Structure 1
Amino acid sequence: MPADRTPTTRIGRTARIGGLVAGQGARVAGGKLLDKARTDDSRERAQRKRTAAIVEQIVVQLGSMKGAAMKFGQVLSTVDLPGLEPEDSERIKTRLAELRDSAPHVPFRRMEQLMAKEWGRPLARVLADIDEDAIAAASIGQVYRAETRDGTPVAIKVQYPGIAEAVESDLRNLQLLLPLLGRIAPGLDTAAMGRELRERITEELDYELEAQSQRQMVRAWRGHPFVRIPAVDTEHSTRRVLVTELIEDGAPFAAVKERDDDVRDEFAEIVYRFFYGCVSRLDLACGDPHPGNFLRLPDGSVSFFDFGMMRRLPSGYARREAQVFGAIRAQDPAGVTRALDGLGYLPDGWDFPDELLYEHMRRSGAYLFEWEQPARLSGAAAHALMESVLSIGGDWRRMVRSFNVPPEGLLVRRMENILFGVACDLRAAADWGSLWAEFFLDEPADTALGRLERDWALDRAA
């Protein structure tokens, strides 16, 4: 298990981020000087590669740190930042996944001390047993398998010691990064993005808030035919320790990937139904649909956990996003522009043709609108989608660098991109367009799972 060399002092973390900003800022300035001697085409290529290199360095450097820095890097890697080529974006996501999966663990002795402090008594007074080897590690904590004194198997998520102080320092230091992002993506409202990330990451530090969100999920999905949410042990959960029901008999994502088509397809549809159902029915964006956060149970249902990064969406937000989808289906370029402008994706001074924006959105969502359904997604299918978008031509590259990512949409876009990657990784097939229309346009459910879910919703309403 790798040693943890993450800088923990305020000075050390400030030095890491400050050095990153200084180095990449110099790359921007130097590149602009060289651009003056280039032709238009070579300047465009150089700018694209420079943007990719800068964002990759930001994401990789932040991804190697715990706390807010790592979380900031994770969010950036899964949002389609303006100016990034799709293939560069995919490479950056892969690099961050490698960093996340190889994250160093904190020794149990230090985590035990924190648990004892939170509970106000030794572990033996609370637990009958605990496995000292963590079963999972994330940006701000580790998870352990344990058993309470009354014999209940539980999962215990414990914050890293000192992580709250590190996050406080990071959130101040990350202000240094926002102007750099603004230089490589001029249309991006970096101030709004910074505020949104500060709010979400600060909330994620409070496990009592996460426990509240998880209890809300338990209530919202109670009795569902194929979604399971572990119960929260309220008695033993604190601000820095979260105790929940332990799910031990589930198959992880890696095992599901090896199953037959029908199992993978059903699993992918359930995952989509859960996360998009939260957006469209509960006005909630779950910002961390990482494959490590759901398990396939023996009966085919899926258990979901980790509700630290959540956002309450404005009432009816899904309906407003649906206007984009509806305008694309209606082949209405002006309608696409109006809908995206109303959502905040187009900055002031937007002057690109409706037809160009429509073509970008149509090709980006071709697997929903145009591919024969059910469509089987895969790495090759994602590559074909990417190649189609890259071939648009004209002012397309300048246009995508001008996009904004509004605060309300940040976690929704992160969720959307991760889920598309999950479906491609699973090589899953579904009628993706009908699924989207069911959730956002209230069109009738057209699958066996959809009909089960509809009957469950009707029973709850009755």
Structure 2
Amino acid sequence: MSADRPIPTSRTARGAALGRAAAGQAVRTAGARMSMVGRSEAVRDRISEKASVQAADQLVTVLGSMKGAAMKLGQMFSVLDPALVPEHHRQRFQDKLAALRDRAPEVDFDAMRAVVETDLGDTVANLFAEFDRDPIAAASIGQVYRARLHDGRVVAVKVQYPGVDDAVRADMKNLALFLKFWRNALPAVAEPELVEELRLNFERELDYLEEARTQSILADRFRNHPFLAVPDAIEGMCTRRVLVTEFFDGIAFDRIRSLPAAERDRIGEIVYRFYIGSLYRYDEFCGDPHPGNMLLGNDGRVGFIDFGLFNRMRREHVEFELDCLRMASEERGVDLLAAMIARGIVDATAGVTADECLEYVFAASEWNLVDRVMTVTPSLASSGLMLAIDPRGGQFTGMKRQNLPAEHLFSRRADFMTFGVLGQLEATANWHGIAREWIYGDAPVTELGVAELRWRGEQNR
């Protein structure tokens, strides 16, 4: 997308972009099948590989140019290691998907400045002492700029793309087309439940005022934390389309991935504690854990940004998830099956056995259920997510009719996306040993856990 070309916002225009991609994929697949007649196995493999790589490339191109909900899907899957493309092409595909996290096509500065001035009621020159014209990040619904207030504070200014609200709503009306495309490219992630969950939650990201309120609460909650930080929103400078926050200076995820293993392990534990531990400690969590939303500060703290998808759960739902974690880790399959039937997750008439229920949970979540040291890899993270979304792809066919209630679907997505981030870090830890702090109330067994316990004690004085 050129800098002066507006975002296509009509359902027809945006649907056509995805339709062309889906049609192209179908033609390539059919053409590849026809070309394989009479060819050797090696030639057939090369033809199939070429079709897969072309489909992957076009997928990234379409998602990146559309922004809105389409690009959000690309961001989600950038932390996975999909079987869409042959193994020796996956890193290139991952790199292209990763570009969707924070290097989306830019919108002209004059158009973005008009949003700031319209919403804040004054010129950029009067509102800020300095305002860099070049964005430091470009994401699914907006761009982020570095600026300085007249009182000297350096801030990040997130501005929505003009018309992106209409684009998102058009995307939502094209869910059937999304499903058609993803079934052609990644069958396991095309389940209607996942896309419906996205539909229900994505429009919330359009309200920067709500995000500012959430970010202020979290900044206050984690103030003076020993190893993580949440930059505060600047009161009086946030609107529905403009979000001004403290600037967190740090290195991005691509550089974090190149750090020594011990440092990546430390960062992985911080990510795990923030995204997963917060649900069980505070009954709320960030629903969008992806690499573009975290930075490593010069002081060693990890800064978390972007809270447009933030959810709160009723305590009874959180307690149910904790009960299931305890039953699974203790291998109490009969109790786990009974709890899932009572909750409506498993149909009592489906013939699912206690062992099958337990094995399914372990296959998807063994990484935080087993008391041993484990390195999370991209392929391990991907297989867990694919199985959780589509158990029919494996041996758990008896689970195929089961559905996760809405109150748990979003938290499980956050869980698996966190798992995906840890896979990109290839982080190693005894994840269950850490989780026992919130599952059983155990004393911490890591240095970070001890430091956090000490900090919580100070906060409660």
TM range (shorter): 0.7 to 0.9
| Alignment match, 2:449 | 450
Partner residue in 1 for 2:428: 429
Change in Cα spacing, 1:378 to 1:327, as seen in structure 2 (3 Å) is: same
Which stretch of the first structure deviates more once superposed, 442-451 or 421-430? 421-430
Where structure 2 has 5 or more consecutive residues not aligned to the other structure, the ranges are: 31-51
Instruction: Give the superposition deviation at 1:150.
Output: 2.3
Which one is further off, 221-230 or 135-144?
221-230
The two structures, once aligned, show a CA RMSD in angstroms of 4.3
Q: Would you say how many aligned residue pairs link Structure 1 and Structure 2?
A: 434
The answer for the alignment partner of 2:367 in structure 1 is 367
Query: Are the counterparts in 2 of residues 58 and 73 from structure 1 also a CA contact under 8 Å?
Result: no
Q: State the SS of the aligned residue for 1:445.
A: coil
Amino acid in structure 1 at the alignment position of 2:361: M
CA distance in 1, matches of 2:202, 2:387: 35
Shift of 1:80: 12
Aligned-residue offset at 1:94: 6.8
Query: Retained in 1: the 8 A contact 2:107–2:161?
Result: yes
Larger mean CA deviation between 102-111 and 235-244 belongs to: 102-111
Residue 450 of structure 1 aligns with an amino acid whose one-letter code is G
Contact 1:319/1:441 (8 A) holds in 2: no
Q: Deviations over 1:237-294 (max 9, x none)?
A: 111000001112x232222323333322211111111112321122112111122212
Q: Which moved more, 1:203-212 or 1:450-459?
A: 450-459
TM-score scaled to structure 2, two decimals?
0.79
Query: Is the alpha carbon distance of 1:356 and 1:162 closer, same or farther for their aligned partners in structure 2, counting shifts above 3 Å?
Result: same
Counterpart residue number, 1:114: 115
Contact 1:63–1:71 (8 Å) recurs in 2: no
Q: 1:394 and 1:114 mapped to 2: Cα distance?
A: 46
Aligned to 1:42: none
Secondary structure at the aligned position of 2:166 is classed as helix
Flag the 1:272–1:386 CA change in 2: closer, same or farther, 3 A.
Answer: closer
Match of 2:419 in 1: 420
Structure 1 counterpart of 2:164: 163
Distance, in Å, in 2 between the alignment partners of 1:24 and 1:304 is 37
Q: Distance in 1 between matches of 2:352 and 2:182?
A: 22
Query: Aligned with 1:365: secondary structure?
Result: helix
Residue type at the aligned position of 2:243: L
1:234 maps to 2:235:
yes
Q: Residue 198 of structure 1 aligns with which residue? A: 199
Residue 245 (structure 1) aligned with residue 260 (structure 2)? no
Residue 145 of structure 2 corresponds to residue 144 of structure 1: yes
Inter-CA distance 100–367: structure 2 relative to 1 (3 Å threshold): closer
1:281-322 CA deviation, whole Å, 9 max, x = no partner?
Answer: 221121111222122222222111110111111224332112
Deviations 1:334-364 (A, max 9, x none): 2232344455543575333322232232233
Contact 1:188 1:404 in 2 (8 A): no
**More moved, 422-431 vs 181-190:** 181-190
Q: Which moved more, 1:354-363 or 1:168-177?
A: 168-177
Q: CA deviation at 1:458?
A: 2.3
Residue 291 of structure 2 contacts residue 421 of structure 2 at CA under 8 Å; is this kept in 1?
yes
Question: What residue number does 2:437 align with?
Answer: 438
- Change in Cα spacing, 1:298 to 1:201, as seen in structure 2 (3 Å) is same
The letter of the residue matching 1:234 is E
C-alpha deviation, 1:123, in angstroms: 0.8
Q: Is the 8 A contact 1:67 1:139 kept in 2?
A: yes
C-alpha distance after superposition, 1:361-392 (max 9, x if no partner): 2233333344743x333347668989999xx9
Residues 120-160 of structure 1: per-residue CA shift (max 9 Å, x gap): 22111101111111100111000000111222211000000
Distance 1:344 1:262 in 2: 42
> How far apart are the structure 2 equivalents of 1:63 and 1:398?
35
Q: 1:283 touches 1:318 (CA, 8 Å); kept in 2?
A: yes
- When residues 181 and 262 of structure 1 are mapped into structure 2, their CA distance, relative to the original with a 3 A threshold, is closer
Partner of 1:38: none
State the Cα deviation string for residues 370-415 of structure 1 (Å, max 9, x = none). 4743x333347668989999xx999825345444343223332232
1:410 match: 409
- Unaligned 5+ runs, structure 1: 31-51
| Alpha-carbon spacing, 1:309–1:342, altered in 2? closer, same or farther (3 Å) | farther
Identity of aligned residues (%): 35
